[in-house]
């Protein structure tokens, strides 16, 4: 997947400025695609040049003018082509997992500190995704929303982000417990 497809997908629901797009990435898209704000601005320029999005200038009285972007018919066609292409299974590439791989040969306290930090990050993301899902479905149950909601794509990707972060949290907490138990057993000998 290219950044362009993630940007196109993020612009499907509404016109967004570059700043709003960066915020949307932080809240929703970041659970499956990471991009820095400067990468997003550069991609918006390329997408507009390629005719996949259209931008319009909005004059503001008390702030600098801004550009709002929306997906064009050509952009929708590009998303159709993208979704028709075969996908590759994803893989994990994570420094923390490499650190845990070396657990028998490194300082356990340092590793537990890294895992504790990651678990806290995952817990915060679980809370964020839980809130986003609640906001998206409103007063409907999840089943009702998934059956009748207007746009379920963002909801489904948010569910995947929630499952991912729950998995991260659970793995970190279990790994911390194992490392602490092993350290305590070594100290008792």
Task: Note the pLDDT tens digit of each residue in 19-38.
Answer: 888 888 766 666 677 788 89
Q: b/e string for 95-121 if b means 16 or more Cβ within 10 A?
A: ebeeebeebeeeeeeebbebbeebbee
Angle of helix 37-49 relative to helix 3-10, nearest 10 degrees, comes to 90
> Residue ranges of the chain with pLDDT lower than 50?
none
Query: What per-residue confidence (pLDDT) applies to 34?
Result: 77
Give residue 31's pLDDT. Answer: 64
The reply to whether the predicted model has a pTM over 0.85 is: no
pLDDT at 68: 95
């Amino acid at each position: 997947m290219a950044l362009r497809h993630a940007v196109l997908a993020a612009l499907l629901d509404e016109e967004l400025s570059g700043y709003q797009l960066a915020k949307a990435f932080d809240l929703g898209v970041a659970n499956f695609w990471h991009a820095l704000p400067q990468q997003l601005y550069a991609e918006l320029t390329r997408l507009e040049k390629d005719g996949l999005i259209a931008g319009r200038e909005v004059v503001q009285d008390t702030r600098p003018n801004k550009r709002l972007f929306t997906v064009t018919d050509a952009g929708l066609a590009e998303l159709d082509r993208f979704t028709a292409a075969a996908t590759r299974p994803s893989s994990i590439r994570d420094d923390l997992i490499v650190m845990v791989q070396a657990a028998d040969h490194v300082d356990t306290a340092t590793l537990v500190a890294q895992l504790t930090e990651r678990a806290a990050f995952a817990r915060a993301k679980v809370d964020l995704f839980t809130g986003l899902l609640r906001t998206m479905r409103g007063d409907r149950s999840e089943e009702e929303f998934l059956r009748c909601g207007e746009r379920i794509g963002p909801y489904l990707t948010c569910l995947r982000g929630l499952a991912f972060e729950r998995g991260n949290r659970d793995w970190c907490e279990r790994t911390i417990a194992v490392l602490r138990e092993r350290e305590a057993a070594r100290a008792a000998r």
